[in-house]
Structure 1
Amino acid sequence: MTSRILFSLLLLSTVGSLRAQPEADTWFYGFKAGATYHRIAEIGTTIIPDVFPQDSYSTEIAPQLGFAGGVVFYHRFYKSRFAIQPEILFASRGGDFNYSDVRDLEYSIGFNYQYLSLGGLIKTYPGGGLHFGVGAQVAFNVATDKLTYLSNMPELGPDLQIQQSLREVLVGSNDINVLLQAGYDFPFGLMVEARYVLGLKDVLETRANGFNFIENTNRSSGFQITLGWLIEFP
């Protein structure tokens, strides 16, 4: 009985793998949406001058949850284990910076950047719908001043006033990303993807300021999980 069940599962898996192979060189389009989990590195080095003893304060760089969604195009080569997947995606990718010191000052800065990304992947299928992919994208920051500031001592300076000053000094910039992905493509069109997004350039421009902030390399990195649906072009 057990051997029959195992044989049936193997047969279904084989049939699914055959169905996943396109019968011709066909293009698909589709839509995807999901969540992001990103952080921006080296923020403390940018905004805290070296004159302050390191044992007088503590900092935390916290990842930030966001949204990703957009349009994808897909083409799997005939009788091949390879496919290409160009994409146009909108994603919120930023991070939080938390600070506290011996004077009981606490504040949090949220970098809530949003990007319009153009890119694509090359996907390889070791078996069935399981795939691994590698690619790249150019990410254009469409919310360069989307920064928030909140402290426990607004008497030192109104939070909204400091927030506006920070927006003029710490400005989001464009990014270039390497994409590493694993996922599963079902034969009926559903795609499940888990992706690591590695930033290659500085995403935070530090302009001339009176805060003693310095220009630094602040790279973004994180994860993205999405569900998508592919539709064959008519």
Structure 2
Amino acid sequence: MKVIQYVSIFFCFFTTALYSQNESNITYGLKFGALHSKISNLPESIKGRDNTFDNSVMQSKGTYGLEGGFFLNFKLHDTRVAIQPEILFRQSGEKVSYRDAVGKEFELGLNYSYLEIGALYKVYPYEGLNLGFGAFYGISLSPNNVTYTSNEAGGMYDVATRQFYQDGLNGADDFSLCFAVGYELHKSIHFDMRYYLGVKDVVNSNASSFQFIENQNKSSVFCFSLGYSFHQW
């Protein structure tokens, strides 16, 4: 229900901008990019109090994903400053690999999707070069999308083990600060690189499953994107 409310607010905002585009410095368009994401402290959360993990190694590997959606850009009159609200779909998460002294190996993936709603404050120090800072709230769309593959008995127990992880690790909404640098070309094309720094726990652990420990698991995302503006200043 809250997803519908957030989307409705944004599209009301978007429609207003379309009607007013000839009277103000407003652009709008689409952007699409690739990203690499990580979630902090995940091995520590998973190991918990199970001593059988003592002779093991569990490492975070990060995961690749996509990000794309709509943006509006309001350039303040007679300034080199703009406000850019956005609504984006993002795929991000984490993968961890495990191996122990007896040869067992597995890979666990948290494959989360979010509806990201936020805005950037952008400064243009030189022509199309811009620096941005903002914040985004990510509404979790797939809190239980977990993958699990192992070499144990040829993967015979993978389905059951994946269900245990799905029951024990629940994805939560995200909130992150965004730092961006980009360049806007004269023909409506623009590029940007971003770093999203998560400030909220994005994994809720069920302590009764697998002896998981509740921990602060925060996201970090690097993203490179390409955008196109349909209306120029």
With the shorter chain as reference, the TM-score category is 0.7 to 0.9
- 2:181 partner SS: strand
The C-alpha deviation readout for 1:184-226, integer Å capped at 9, x for no partner, is 0112211101000111111111124241111111111020111
The separation in 1 between residues aligned to 2:162 and 2:187, in whole angstroms, is: 49
Which stretches of structure 1, 4 residues or longer, exceed 2 Å deviation after superposition?
A: 49-55, 154-157
Q: Does the CA contact (< 8 Å) of 1:112 and 1:147 recur in 2? A: yes
Instruction: Note the 1:2-151 alignment, pairs <5 A.
Output: 25-50=24-49, 52=51, 56-151=55-150
Deviation at 1:43, TM superposition (A): 0.9
Larger of the two Rg values belongs to structure? 1
Letter of the structure 2 residue corresponding to residue 80 of structure 1: T
- TM-score, scaled to structure 2: 0.85
Greater mean alpha carbon deviation, residues 57-66 or residues 155-164: 155-164
Greater mean alpha carbon deviation, residues 198-207 or residues 224-233: 224-233
Greater mean alpha carbon deviation, residues 53-62 or residues 32-41: 53-62
- 1:165 partner SS: helix
- 2:51 partner SS: coil
The C-alpha deviation readout for 1:72-124, integer Å capped at 9, x for no partner, is 00111122110110000001011101111112111110011000010010000
Q: Does the CA contact (< 8 Å) of 1:29 and 1:231 recur in 2? A: yes
List alignment gaps of at least 5 residues for structure 1: 1-22
- TM-score, scaled to structure 1: 0.85
1:192 corresponds to: 191
1:11 corresponds to: none
Q: CA RMSD in A?
A: 2.1
List alignment gaps of at least 5 residues for structure 2: 1-21
